[in-house]
Structure 1
Amino acid sequence: MIVAIEIRMLLASRYQGFISDQGLFIHWMETIRQYGLGEAYIQNGSINYPPLFLMLMDGYGKVLSLFGTSALIGTLSFKGIVVLVDFAAMLAAIKLSAGIRSSGWRLFILALFALNPVLIAGGAVWGQIDMLHSLLMVLAIVSLTKKTWLSGVWAALALLTKFQAVTILPIIGIYLLIEAFRNRRWKPSIGWLGGFAVPWLVTVGYFASAGGLKEMIKLAYTDAVGMYTSATVNAANIWFHVVGIDPSSDDTTPFLLGMSLRTFSLLLFAAAALFICVYEWIATRSGDIEAVLLKASCAMGFAFFMLPTEIHERYGIPALVFALFVVLHDRRWLVAAVGMSVTMLVNILVVMQDAASGRFGGRGNGDGLGRRGFGSGRGFENGGGLGNGRGPGSGSDFGADTPFGSGRSPIGGGPGTTMAASYTWIAVVNVLLLIWLLWVMWYEMRQVRQVRQLKELADQEMGQPRQVGQR
């Protein structure tokens, strides 16, 4: 942990990362400081994250102010909150792996988690916070078989951090159905729903009293789909040259049988999700329910990264985190953990390098960041900065002082992906990984069925009257 934290602090200080993302976050912090969290969504139309991360950033900014400093773009002063989240995740990983008998294997997995280059690049270097909702998603799944009410709380907090956490709800739903109809236990469902409701009731009550509930739901949730209409937004998935689709294609255009590319991609994901739910229903009869839930969550997260349109390069991180915890139960899944670590690392680094070279085509959200934009990444340029306006900016320029400076413009326009077609091999490997995951799950289902059939046959034979002389 000491080495992991030192590496993060060193890289966070040395590389600016995506200063456009960080600039948005700091802009949001300033909005909350001026108007309060309850009115932030009303005053700033660029906020597209749920409120939990905003609340953490606001608290982090207040702590910095106590020491007479503030968060600056591209520096450790801002990325400190990312390092703190990673530190908390490492502590959680130690706790969650406490039941592993092999201390050597446990140490290896903890090291793979703490020193994973994808988690370091996406957090301490980039300046993003994907580890936060990934950790909350894992906690929601792991606690499901122990304290269902606590799982509901974690799941609600995950959704209040990032809408992407919705991918674990089918996994949780199938488990609760198994408990209710197979095991005749309704208490887990009641407990989970109660735990899930509490954070949401508090959130809804708070924003309703401040008058910002409608805007919060609209910006953080309902507007999430369709904000970026490219086939892929730098995610090396099936839409990155693998099936002959231009990654920058508009996903609202007709694709097949009158369906848009977006609709077709969501149907693909729905089919994969259905298979994963069937796997969970069958495989939970094997006995190691927590392992099955983690595998299903990993596969669901990776299918979400690979199949729908409009996916960003970092959206596979929850699947990777789940894969690392699956390996604690099933060493075969080390293939998935290592494979994802390689492909996602290259994907993220290529995007950052493209941003540094100014090739980024933009991820428009139509809200604008003012006309002067960012300077060198160490602060805002004089006379400009980040405006509160909702209109489009003028195509702000971003500095690139370091190899991983930022050239990503949140202003609309341009293609949705900047990676060259020569990196299609990343998407191809990811496709093979997805196929491998689904095949392993199918094979496990078949094994469970065979065991059940043998057990039923043995029970039938035991129930038949024995003939004379039969031993």
Structure 2
Amino acid sequence: MDHPDDSIRTNSGATAGEGYRLFWVDTLLLALALRVLLVPLSPYFGYPGDHDDFVRWGVQAVDDGVTSLYDHPPRRLPLRVREDGEWITTERRFDRLCNYPPGSAYRLAVSGWVFSRLSSDRVVNTTLSQYCFSAWVIVCDVILAAGAAALARHFGDERTARWAWGLMLFLPPLWWDSVVWAQTDTMLLAPAIWMLWSMVRQRWMLAGVLWGVAASLKPQAILLLPVWGLALLAPPRSTADAGDASARWQPLAGLAAGALTLNLIALPFTLHSGWAWFRASYWDNLFATYSHLTTLKAFNVWYVDLLLTLSDDATTPCLGLTRDAWGKFMLAVALLAGLAWSAVRWRGRAEGLLLYASLSLLAFMMLPTQVHERYLVLVLPFVCVASLRWPAVRAGFAGLTIVALAQVTWPIWLDVDPAGMREVREAARAAHVELRQFEAHRLPPELRSLPDLEAVFRRAYRELRARTAPIEWVFVVLALASSVATVAAIVRIRPP
């Protein structure tokens, strides 16, 4: 005869299980609805230049074939932009060769095909064009959230997994970056988070393939390589201690699988035009296009330099080295110090991989030059999972989240470019040329000579900058303080 308590426990267990399932389904549907409703805001608040690139590359893949993307820039298309509160149709007079790796070329081709079928006039920056090209990141947002939940579950429990799932779906910097600003950072994060999950579970071949997929989508996948360095330096303790010498080389085999995956995805492009895809999407992106800039509006140590000097010239010497060289030096020191700490403190434990991923990505955001403002988004999922496992990390994570939201919304509140002094001098020289046609005695004294004219322009520029400079100082100080708090909390963590 069954005991009455057995049926009560069975019913309560079923109810709890049903509640868990409802949580996952309900939050997923709510997150998808949020994103679908926000996409129409992208023409207003997104960055039309990047979207113009995406659509033109997609249409080029349809018209000329996907392998043409690294042969020549795309043809121009009509572009809708807002000027003085009114919509106008123009053309963007900037022609860029595709600078995304081949994996992204395929998804651009699919989006371009759908867009070309649905839009006869092919006008860029419409609600239709945004939906066609944002569908990928919406899917990747969900994959990222699922990966963060799986990673959190590995280090915690069901409750921790649900927190990670919910935070990744509804954290404002993530959905704003994906569907309002229409960027593609979660396309890198989606395979990256599952790569780390595979690494902590010692599924090295799967981890390598996922890294190859990430590298085929965005060149920033190289930011994940330090984590592989830790895996090679401090192999999993459970297998290494078991006496299996071959296990020490499994991470290397996984990394080789990643390189093979990337090259297989790129094979049609390699056969068509050699290494043109690598030059355009990797070499130029990482070492050429932005090499002269200290920061691309990223609130890091170089933004402090920018606020003080009003210059983002990375080639300017400082204490005997260029700013770019100082950035590389600080990054190298941070990565090596973090690697040594992780290897010694954690000795191959899975927690070391998660913590070093957080430290290394934060170093890439805060120390080198040429950093985009959106790179902070790449840090958040890993620090989020770490904060759910170790409460001491939560204060830093909260600060970084606030800064990330400020970073991805800067076009709304940052009116005047903080690196505009070069343009100010050029404008003063152009005005001086125009004023030379007038007799000097007919001009006010402050407009007669070029130095005086430059002083007038600089004063006007600084007055405009004064409106947002205090806000920028608040955010950059918060960014640095949150980074220090995160690093300090992580290095104090000890194995149980």
Bucket of the pairwise TM-score, normalised by the shorter protein:
0.7 to 0.9
CA shift at 1:32, angstroms?
Answer: 1.6
Stretches of structure 2 lacking an aligned partner (at least 5 in a row) = 1-27, 74-95, 421-460
Paired letter, 2:407: N
Paired residues for 1:40-439 under 5 Å: 40-44=69-73, 45-64=96-115, 72-75=124-127, 76-77=130-131, 78-99=133-154, 102-145=157-200, 146-179=202-235, 183=241, 184=245, 185-211=247-273, 213-224=274-285, 225-228=287-290, 229-241=292-304, 245-246=308-309, 248-257=311-320, 259-285=321-347, 289-354=349-414, 420-422=468-470, 423-439=472-488
Kindly indicate whether the alpha-carbon contact (under 8 Å) linking 2:311 and 2:419 is maintained by their aligned counterparts in 1: no
Q: Deviations over 1:93-144 (max 9, x none)?
A: 4444444664444323321111000001111100001011122222222211
Kindly indicate whether the alpha-carbon contact (under 8 Å) linking 2:35 and 2:179 is maintained by their aligned counterparts in 1: yes
Q: Deviations over 1:316-336 (max 9, x none)?
A: 111112112223432322223
Kindly indicate whether the alpha-carbon contact (under 8 Å) linking 2:208 and 2:254 is maintained by their aligned counterparts in 1: yes
* RCO higher in structure (CA 8 A, sep ≥6): 1
Hey, what does 1:20 align to over in structure 2? 49
Q: 1:358 to 1:7 in 2, by over 3 A?
A: farther
Q: 1:137 to 1:105 in 2, by over 3 A?
A: closer
Kindly indicate whether the alpha-carbon contact (under 8 Å) linking 2:152 and 2:160 is maintained by their aligned counterparts in 1: no
| TM-score between both structures, scaled by the size of structure 1 | 0.74
Residue 7 (1) aligns with residue 34 (2)? yes
Kindly indicate whether the alpha-carbon contact (under 8 Å) linking 1:320 and 1:341 is maintained by their aligned counterparts in 2: yes
Kindly indicate whether the alpha-carbon contact (under 8 Å) linking 2:137 and 2:179 is maintained by their aligned counterparts in 1: yes
SS at match of 1:179: coil
Q: Could you say which structure has the larger radius of gyration?
A: 2
Kindly indicate whether the alpha-carbon contact (under 8 Å) linking 2:149 and 2:162 is maintained by their aligned counterparts in 1: no
Task: State the alpha-carbon separation in 1 of the partners of residues 310 and 483 from structure 2.
Answer: 19
Task: State the alpha-carbon separation in 1 of the partners of residues 316 and 108 from structure 2.
Answer: 38
Q: 1:67 to 1:227 in 2, by over 3 A?
A: closer
Kindly indicate whether the alpha-carbon contact (under 8 Å) linking 1:343 and 1:430 is maintained by their aligned counterparts in 2: yes
CA shift at 1:166, angstroms?
Answer: 1.1
| TM-score between both structures, scaled by the size of structure 2 | 0.71
Task: State the alpha-carbon separation in 1 of the partners of residues 331 and 140 from structure 2.
Answer: 30
Kindly indicate whether the alpha-carbon contact (under 8 Å) linking 1:149 and 1:191 is maintained by their aligned counterparts in 2: yes
SS at match of 2:371: coil
Stretches of structure 1 lacking an aligned partner (at least 5 in a row) = 363-413, 452-471
SS at match of 2:296: coil
CA shift at 1:63, angstroms?
Answer: 4.3
Paired letter, 1:254: P
CA shift at 1:68, angstroms?
Answer: 7.0
Paired letter, 1:240: Y
Task: State the alpha-carbon separation in 2 of the partners of residues 358 and 421 from structure 1.
Answer: 9
Task: State the alpha-carbon separation in 1 of the partners of residues 306 and 223 from structure 2.
Answer: 24
Task: State the alpha-carbon separation in 2 of the partners of residues 176 and 294 from structure 1.
Answer: 15
Aligned CA-pair RMSD = 2.9
CA shift at 1:358, angstroms?
Answer: 8.2
Task: State the alpha-carbon separation in 2 of the partners of residues 360 and 244 from structure 1.
Answer: 7
SS at match of 1:73: coil
Task: State the alpha-carbon separation in 1 of the partners of residues 208 and 480 from structure 2.
Answer: 32
